Structure 1
Amino acid sequence: MARLRSASAVAFLAFLIFRPLMCLGIHSFWVDGGAPMGSDGIESLLQFAEAPQYCNGVECSASYGGDSVVHVAMTLDSEYLRGSMAAVHSVLQHASCPENIFFHFVAEEFDPVSPRVLTRLVQSIFPSLNFKVYIFREDTVINLISSSIRQALENSLNYARNYLGDILDPSVTQVIYSDSDVVLVDDVQKLWNVRVGSRLWGY
């Protein structure tokens, strides 16, 4: 019994020691040779599985357009790409009419991974996704951002949501904004149908 407890204690200690290394491996990207990956190699390394095609249910409107379209906006950048793709997947997975959802992605002009590459990555993950990528110019807000103890708050893309009315196509009169760390567990159509007296809200 004592020997079993000792072995369990050693195994638990080893888990605590190597756990930070396992967590580091989740967020770090490496290329052959063990060197940290630069922006040039990110497209070849970020290999996502292609998502299944999500089709409308029988209750969905037969015609695509007008009030039948649900507009969802979110930012798109290399640092939070996996979170954004998980958010998109959760929206489609729980939607009763996934083909009626149109995504508006806002990307930085000078992201380490260009908006063009990010667009191709989204297309490769969700081949049938209805979406458009918009470019947000950092100089719009860069001089308005104060230094913060949270580095994420100094990212100009964090404030793009405040300019959606100017960024998105004029034909979009209603949109739901979602952060990249949000995962839906219900139909986005329910939120779309809520009327709060404003043209823009987020979750």
Structure 2
Amino acid sequence: MAYRRSYSLSLPIGLLSLFLIINFVHLAAIPSASAAATTTNVRLSVTRKPSKSLPVFREAPAFRNGEECKKDLIHVAMTLDANYLRGTVAAVLSILQHSFCPENIFFHFLWSHYDKEIYNNIKNTFPYLRFKVYRFDTNRVSGKISKSIRQALDQPLNYARIYLADILPMNVNRVIYLDSDIVVVDDIEKLWKVDLEGKVLAAPEYCQANFKRYFTDDFWADPELSNTFKGRNPCYFNTGVMVVDIQKWREGGYSYKVEEWMTIQKQKRIYHLGSLPPFLLVFAGHIKGIDHRWNQHGLGGDNIEGKCRGLHPGPISLLHWSGKGKPWLRLDSRKPCPVDHLWAPYDLYLSKKPILDE
């Protein structure tokens, strides 16, 4: 059996009382003019210097393989940036915690520029993590991104998933791509072992969704454009959770095929969202559909207001806060949605109040 070392992340009552007393004395001694700057990301016995604006995290427990685990790697790709770092850390923790063979998971992080503080944050939070960081050249999408209904969708790093086959090492033939606003509550090896049946990618499909709404009236009115779906049974799928056959992607030149639709979008507006519609244009109706349990999406609400949503019926292996509302922001605002409390146990964030070293 695989085994895990786990540690309580809560303080004993006696220690907590001591912390509150010390915390009060410490804060009272801080000059008011510099209080905000001094208390940000500070610990009483300082082990890390305050960062510019990055959160600081508790060190994650160590997760170890058991004797039954083989050495076959599971490749997971995610983007890495300051705005979503807290989500990424929670996602990584959830994956490791629920994996039967956690040491078999290799993370491939993509960022737009080298950031030593972000790198050290990951390294210090997960000392045993197997990972590598790659620079995504944002010039690849310069001039190809069209303004969408939400600014976060227009960030160049949001398009990095299109170029996984170009960025990852040649010996990586399959990868699971995950957004940073997810938590996994099942063994990710089950997702890794999905039979793609010769398809380039696998993802949960949602054929009951109104597929037409992902494209403009001008798109559907143009027979040359809309005929791209002729002979296909296109269904919506969310690109935040995908199993990708990297080798087939390379052979088929799919990065270029997605780019072609982005170029058309610049000439004639045919959709309103970010990187999702060009994926649908290339792959909808041609993917391997997998169980919906692997993407309980939409928990962040819509793209405009981010209103609270409940869970869909059925079993759950992955929770996804797609949409405007992110759980860490709603929790910090003290106006969380009920589903945000499902994300909270994986949050290793150290609050801005100084705390004692464990």
Q: TM-score with structure 1 length normalisation?
A: 0.73
Q: Encode CA deviations 1:99-121: one digit per residue, 9 max, x unaligned.
A: 00000000012xxxx43321111
Residue 79 of structure 1 is matched in structure 2 by: 83
How far does residue 148 in structure 1 lie from its aligned partner after superposition? 1.6
CA gap 1:45/1:84 in 2 versus in 1, 3 angstroms:
closer
| CA–CA distance in structure 2, aligned partners of residues 137 and 105 of structure 1 | 13
* Counterpart pick for 1:34 among 23, 33, 36: 36
Are the aligned partners of 1:174 and 1:200 in contact in 2 as well (CA < 8 Å)? no
Distance in 2, Cα, partners of 1:51 & 1:43 = 22
Deviation at 1:200, TM superposition (A): 4.7
Task: Name the SS for the 1:74 alignment partner.
Answer: strand
Percent identity, please: 52
Q: How does 1:161-180 map to 2 (within 5 A)?
A: 161-180=161-180
Q: Give the letter aligned to residue 172 of structure 1.
A: V
Out of 50, 69, 74, the position equivalent to 2:59 is: 50
Cα distance between partner residues in 1 of 2:180 and 2:75: 16
Give CA deviations for 1:26-68 in whole Å, capped at 9, x if unaligned: xxxxx94436x8xx9536862210001100133211xx3xxx1
Say which structure is richer in helix: 1
Query: Does the 8 A contact of 2:55 with 2:86 survive in 1?
Result: no
Paired residue for 2:101? 97
Partners of 1:154 and 1:165 lie apart in 2 by 21
Q: Is the alpha carbon distance of 1:32 and 1:169 closer, same or farther for their aligned partners in structure 2, counting shifts above 3 Å?
A: farther
* 1:195 CA displacement: 1.4
Q: Matched residue pairs, number?
A: 162
Q: Which amino acid aligns with 2:65?
A: N
Counterpart contact for 1:70–1:175, Cα < 8 Å: yes
Q: Report the Cα distance in structure 2 between the residues aligned to 1:52 and 1:136, rounded to whole angstroms.
A: 30
Native 8 Å contact 2:57 2:125 kept in 1? yes
Q: Residues 159-192 of structure 1, C-alpha deviation per residue, up to 9 Å, x if partnerless?
A: 1001000011111111000000110010000011
| Structure 2 alignment gaps of length 5 or more | 1-32, 41-48, 203-239, 242-358
Matches of residues 1-203 of structure 1 in structure 2 within 5 Å?
A: 32-34=34-36, 42=51, 46-61=55-70, 64=71, 68-109=72-113, 114-196=114-196, 197-198=198-199, 200-201=201-202, 203=241
Shift of 1:147: 1.1
CA distance in 1, matches of 2:132, 2:199: 23
SS at match of 2:135: strand
The answer as to whether partners of 1:53 and 1:128 remain within 8 angstroms in 2 is: yes
Work out which of the two has the higher radius of gyration on C-alpha atoms and give 1 or 2.
2
Taking only aligned residues, the RMSD between alpha carbons, in angstroms, comes to 2.4
Q: Post-superposition, which runs of at least 4 consecutive aligned residues in structure 1 deviate over 6 A?
A: none
The answer to whether the Cα contact below 8 Å between 1:75 and 1:157 also exists between their aligned partners in 2 is yes
Bigger mean CA offset, 45-54 vs 99-108: 45-54
Q: Match of 1:165, SS?
A: helix
Instruction: State TM-score, norm by structure 2.
Output: 0.42
> Alignment partner of 1:183: what SS?
strand
